[in-house]
């Protein structure tokens, strides 16, 4: 079975949001069109407490987008975003959620960031997504969403690490940094993942 993973298509990550990804809203029609091609559709959702240590606001004297160290890991200090229970944390209203079977929330531990939909950045705790996919008999995962050079990238890397045949739908993701996205795509290929276009996926027979 193959699954579509829709990563963090949330209000705070589209233009006008607290941590807007350039052109982030442009992938939503693609995300909607892709869903019928898959037997299983799963979404992830950044779901931070307001006290999260990845927020620059929680580090006096530090500024947004500076890097620091957090429990031995390099950490970008982000604007406050996707706070639990806020409108910014909600999935974008234009995203079709009828086919989404499950939503996995991440970044709930205030002490460590969680880019990947499968693990936190230190691989200390699993979200349960990998076991969920295995329980459904999934062998192939196709990854799309926001942002291409962070949460999409880390999800693809962890899916490969967990033994899934992994495809990044290149044009169904948008990055914070174009250069960073090129590096991320090269790394995914180096690790054994594959890059694919939405047109190629849409040309496949729809799931029944």
Residue 51 CA to residue 37 CA, distance in Å, equals 39
In the block, residue with structure tokens 């459904």: 136
Active site residue ranges: 8, 106, 151
> Rounded to whole angstroms, how far apart are CA atoms 1 and 12?
32
Angle between helices 151-161 and 178-190 (to 10 degrees): 10
- Per-residue b/e over 36-56, b at no fewer than 16 CB within 10 Å? ebbebbbbbbbbbeeebbbbb
């Amino acid at each position: 079975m193959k699954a579509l993973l829709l990563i963090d298509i949330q209000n705070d990550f589209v233009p006008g949001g607290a941590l807007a990804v350039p052109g982030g809203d442009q992938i939503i029609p693609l995300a909607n069109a892709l869903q019928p091609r898959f037997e299983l559709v799963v979404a992830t959702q950044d779901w931070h407490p307001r006290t999260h240590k990845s927020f620059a606001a929680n580090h006096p004297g530090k500024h947004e987008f500076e890097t620091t160290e957090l429990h031995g890991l390099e950490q970008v200090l982000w604007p406050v975003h996707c706070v639990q229970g806020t409108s910014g944390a909600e999935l974008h209203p234009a995203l079709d959620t009828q086919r989404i079977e499950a939503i996995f929330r991440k970044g709930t531990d205030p002490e460590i960031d969680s880019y990947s939909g499968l693990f936190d950045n230190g691989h200390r705790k699993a979200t349960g997504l990998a076991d969920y996919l295995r329980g459904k008999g999934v062998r192939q995962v196709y990854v799309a969403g926001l942002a291409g050079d962070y949460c999409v990238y880390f999800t693809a890397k962890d899916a490969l690490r967990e033994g899934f045949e992994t495809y990044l739908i290149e044009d169904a993701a948008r990055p914070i940094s174009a250069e960073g996205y090129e590096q991320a795509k090269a790394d995914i290929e180096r690790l054994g993942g594959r890059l694919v276009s939405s047109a190629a996926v849409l040309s496949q027979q729809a799931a029944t």
